[in-house]
Chains A and B, each alone.
Chain A
């Protein structure tokens, strides 16, 4: 996967960091924190609907809750005036393992996309969140 990476066209070089400071842009971590809360609520609803899913999904509820808190802390570091986010609304219906897997798969991809563009002091946290989500998506598949 690393092999050949140096042969990429030079046009791609240096486009790693998008958009400069762009203070008008919303913090890209906000969407990731929202997704973390939504995943936690979805997985919790799946466990509530079927207790047999607790072993597989309760750790995910806890992990995504921790992700949301860590991302929220990083968002607040750059924007101390940000109001506390509303809790995620309960998901409709009776979600199952497959819905949770799809959600965490999408969250891992989204975090991975964002990680490619973040400054050094923020990329580690988001990369860890992405790797955790990707691992859950894999084991729940």
Chain B
């Protein structure tokens, strides 16, 4: 236990680092996706990217308070499928949101701190909504995932 804060132990810190890595990847994904989107979808992609930038900043601030060095972003990420048009861009957004939901779910599983769990739960709910909108864009059903973070 290197953490000086008794509430947020080593396991929680590792989960937060994992969530940070997912947020880095999501920001990168939206920056790529927006190049293939137009109109309302492009606007939404920028808003969603901004939401992830905010989450990234909050995790980094939390880690800084704990005296833990924050994990850095990778220079680039491998996309599950090539992004070549609006549909594959929206699909990448679905992947990015699904990955962050899973990472935040893991924060809940790896921390017993109420405040951290509440923050992770709120983040899961917001990400599920973002994910649902991109799933709708590519016609995936059900639009809202039944077990967000599990599938």
Contact = CB atoms under 8 A, between A and B. Distances in A.
Interface of A: 1-3, 5-6, 8, 12-17, 59, 62-63, 66-67, 70, 108, 112, 115-116, 120-121, 123-125, 127-132, 134-136, 138-139
A31 to B, nearest CB: 18
15 contacts: A5-B119, A6-B5, A17-B112, A59-B143, A63-B146, A67-B146, A108-B125, A112-B125, A116-B121, A123-B109, A127-B149, A128-B150, A130-B124, A132-B128, A136-B144
B122 to A, nearest CB: 6
Contacts of B108: 115, 123-124, 127
Instruction: Determine the main DSSP class of B at the interface with A.
Output: helix
A8 B115 CA distance: 8
A5 B116 contact: yes
B97 to A, nearest CB: 11
B144 A112 contact: no
Interface in B43-87: 55, 58-59, 61-62, 65-66
Contacts of A136: 144
Contacts of B115: 5, 8, 12
A2 B59 contact: yes
A13 B142 contact: no
B8 interface: yes
Contact of A1 (B58, B66, B145): B58
Contacts of A124: 105-106, 108-109, 149-150
Interface centre among A66, A120, A127, A130 (most CB of B within 10 A): A127
B60 to A, nearest CB: 10
A6 B6 contact: no
B141 interface: yes
A22 B7 CA distance: 23
